[in-house]
């Protein structure tokens, strides 16, 4: 039976990884590398994460990395967990574990993360997610439309999942949410791409959920989303970053903050102010390129 460290070596050889990913993989090799991959339990994973949290943040010293006495962010711990899961998935691909094998990372609860308004999905990252969703989503067959609508409208995923047949007007090219997080209704304009994806979905009645499951109930998209982000080499990214990406793309295109507010359903200027950084960064890039 293959050892965990051997599977990691095969995983690293299969593609290129950045330094941060290799560092996370090195941590797992250090703590469970000598264990047979099929014998690793959820308790082993949990104990390793506790050890990681207790170690805290590191910095490079003269001879070795040393702890700086500061706790790790929840997102960092979660990325380590996701990274371990990718190794077990690779072992399954290589048929080093039985087909019925369930990765011990699956039952581990993730640490709540503080939302980062500066974290958003770039166009090239969204393109990767769409490419993967097109292949991976073989059962629900609505994730491609969900991603496209979310990115092109800036609507919250909860609002989109609550949309019913009567709320979508394909002729007018609009989608309406009767009640948003802010308590107000909002009507979003649909791009040609979003309209095309919505037209590909099965037709539903006026009261039926457009993005419901086969039984017509609300679909739990998170497991499928997590799989897609991992396959797209974007582990740990959350769906809400599509909304932030929408705001940044509007700002980058020179759209006024008032229109960004209207598009995203913001009540205050401060809420849309964060996206101004994107357009400022682009202006700086132009000035540096032209004037040096």
CATH code of the domain covering residue 44: 1.10.150
Q: 176 near 189, Cβ under 8 Å? A: no
pTM over 0.75: no
248 within domain boundaries: no
Last residue of a domain, one of 72, 93, 114: 93
Q: Are residues 9 and 77 in the same domain?
A: yes
Same domain, residue pair 34 and 133: no
Q: Are residues 188 and 131 in the same domain?
A: yes
Domain count, the chain: 2
Domain that holds residue 149: 123-235
**Is residue 104 in some structural domain?**
no
Instruction: List alpha helices for the chain, DSSP H.
Output: 4-14, 19-32, 42-55, 74-93, 123-136, 143-153, 157-161, 192-200, 222-231, 240-252, 257-264, 269-273, 276-291
Q: Is residue 221 part of a domain?
A: yes
Instruction: Note whether residue 272 is domain-resident.
Output: no
pLDDT tens column, 186-244: 888 889 999 999 999 999 999 999 999 999 999 999 999 999 999 999 998 999 999 98
167 found inside a domain: yes
Tell me: the pLDDT tens digits for 61-72? 555 565 656 777
Based on the domain organization, do 69 and 168 belong to the same domain? no
* Residue 98 burial (10 A CB sphere; 0-12, 13-18, 19+): exposed
pLDDT digits (tens, 9 = 90+) for 36-78: 999 999 999 999 998 888 888 776 655 556 565 677 777 888 8
Residues 151 and 205 in one domain: yes
Please check whether residues 132 and 198 belong to one and the same domain.
Answer: yes
pLDDT over 70 for what percent of the chain?
A: 82
Mean pLDDT for the chain overall: 85
Residues 130 and 88 in one domain: no
CATH of the domain at 201: 1.10.443.10
| Alpha carbons 127 and 233: distance in angstroms, whole number | 12
Is residue 219 assigned to a domain? yes
When pLDDT is averaged across residues 96-116 and rounded to a whole number, the result is 81
Mean predicted confidence (pLDDT) in 172-196 = 82
């Amino acid at each position: 039976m293959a050892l965990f460290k051997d599977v990691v070596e095969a995983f690293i050889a299969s593609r290129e990884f950045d330094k941060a990913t290799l560092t996370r993989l090195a941590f797992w090799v250090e703590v469970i590398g000598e264990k047979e991959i099929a014998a690793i339990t959820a308790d082993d994973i949990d104990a390793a994460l506790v050890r990681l949290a207790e170690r805290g943040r590191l910095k490079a010293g003269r001879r070795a990395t040393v702890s700086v006495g500061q706790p790790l962010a929840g997102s960092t711990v979660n990325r380590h967990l996701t990274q371990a899961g990718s190794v077990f998935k690779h072992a399954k691909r290589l048929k080093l574990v039985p087909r019925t094998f369930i990765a011990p990372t699956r039952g581990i609860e993730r640490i709540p993360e503080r939302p980062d308004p500066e974290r958003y999905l770039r166009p090239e990252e969204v393109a990767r997610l769409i490419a993967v969703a097109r292949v991976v989503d073989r059962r629900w067959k609505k994730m491609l439309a969900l991603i496209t609508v979310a990115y092109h409208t800036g609507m919250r995923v909860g609002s989109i999942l609550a949309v019913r047949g009567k709320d979508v007007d394909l002729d007018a090219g609009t989608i309406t949410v009767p009640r948003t997080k802010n308590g107000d209704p909002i009507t979003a304009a649909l791009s040609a791409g979003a309209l095309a994806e919505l037209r590909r979905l099965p037709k539903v009645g006026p009261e039926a959920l457009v993005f419901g499951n086969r039984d017509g109930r609300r679909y739990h998209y998170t497991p499928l989303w997590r799989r897609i982000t991992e396959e797209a080499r974007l582990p740990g990214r959350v769906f809400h970053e599509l909304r932030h990406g929408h705001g940044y793309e509007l700002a980058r295109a020179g759209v006024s903050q008032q229109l960004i507010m209207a598009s995203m359903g913001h009540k205050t200027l401060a809420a849309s102010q964060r996206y101004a950084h994107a357009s400022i960064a682009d202006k700086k890039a132009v000035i540096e390129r032209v004037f040096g």
